Amino acid sequence: MDKYYIQLGEEPSGPYTFKQLKSMWLHGNLTVENLYMTEGSGEWSRLADLLVQLEEEKKELPFQMPTNMHSVVSGEVRVSDVKMKFTSMVVFMLKWTIAAIPAAIILSILFSIIFYLFWTYYLAAQFAGKQ
């Protein structure tokens, strides 16, 4: 049975069995851009070369919840095929939160102006009706 090494970051990891490799592929932890090497070959190849075998297995399996903990251990979070470290995602979310503050202030000012105009119109109509 072949053993595979995967280049996930700067350091290779493994060895993995083909079954483990399939699981990582099915759960989105690997992409076609990742490199792999079989034990003893000493030559790195793109995972796209194994894609046919991995995809055949993917069609046969029903939906499963991810069980691979590699992304948790490495501190990476994958969102819609966007791979980023957890700390980068937190910074990203904080930036968007801070960017939303001026928008909230502007909307508050606009709603206040609209409310003031309608309230003034209402008071003017009430005052004109009493005379």
71-124 pLDDT, tens digit each: 445 556 555 566 778 898 899 999 999 999 999 999 999 999 999 999 999 988
Asked if residue 20 and residue 61 are part of one domain, the reply reads: yes
Structural domain range at position 46? 4-74
Identify whether residues 45 and 97 lie together within a single domain: no
- pTM for the whole thing? 0.40
Question: Is 87 or 7 the better-scoring residue by pLDDT?
Answer: 87
Confidence of residue 30 (pLDDT cuts 50, 70, 90): confident
Domains: count for the chain: 2
Nearest to 13 by CA among 21, 2, 23: 21
Q: Which residue's structure tokens are 């070959």?
A: 41
Rounded to whole angstroms, the Cα distance separating 9 from 100 reads 34
Does residue 70 sit in the same domain as residue 9?
yes
Asked whether residue 60 falls in the same domain as residue 111, the answer is no
The reply to whether 35 and 92 lie within a common domain is no
